[in-house]
Amino acid sequence: MIYGYARVSTKGQAKNGNSLEEQKEVILSRYPTAKIVSEASSGAKYRTVFSELVQQLQRGDVLVVTKLDRFCRTTKEGLQYIDELMAKGVSIHILNMGLIEDTAMGRLIVTNLLAFAEFERAMIVERTQSGKEIAKQNPNYREGRKPKKYNVKKFAELYEKVCDGYKTVAEAANELGISRAKWYRITNDI
């Protein structure tokens, strides 16, 4: 049996050609009879669906993944899965690389590609952290989401109504379009 595995870990991946729909479409264009298994999970976290699929695969099955980074997160993890699957007699086809061969040369190529993929992820994290550190040097830098704006005049009116017991904090915050927590932060600053 042919199984396709698709995974997304971030919302941004949908914009980069890694959406679940795009992965499924690519797999089915090459293997129209493939049974597609998918999950939305960070590669850094335990991937329940993938682990169950690996346990289910049997001799003669084919596991199809669009890209190496959809298959595994680290070199060690990738090699462990490859060893486990090949020992079971399962073929692994990474569509942008080809069929992984159970030969010395095949293992060398896969090990190097896994190492480069892991290195690339580490460099992305490093650049992101470096960019944050540089941004933090700016006195106007604020980490996290941009604060929601609210109408100060409308807040004052609603604050009066809350104090007089005509409205609850939840009602007033909802009317302003802010959370109750934000309401309390604003009132603590008054």
Active site residues per annotation: 9
* SS3 label, residue 45: coil
- Within 8 A by CB and 6+ apart from 3, the residues are 34, 35, 36, 37, 53, 57, 61, 62, 63, 64
Tell me if 7 sits within 8 A of 38, measured CB to CB.
Answer: yes
- Taking residue 172's Cβ as centre, other Cβ atoms within 10 Å add up to 21
Residue 35 forms beta bridges with which residues? 3
In this structure, how many other beta carbons lie within 10 angstroms of the beta carbon of residue 13?
A: 18
Short-list 82, 62, 66, CA closest to 74 = 82
Determine the distance from the C-alpha atom of residue 53 to the mean position of all C-alpha atoms in its chain, rounded to a whole number.
Answer: 19
Query: Are 70 and 26 within 8 A, CB to CB?
Result: no
Burial bucket for residue 3 (CB in 10 Å: 0-12, 13-18, 19+): buried
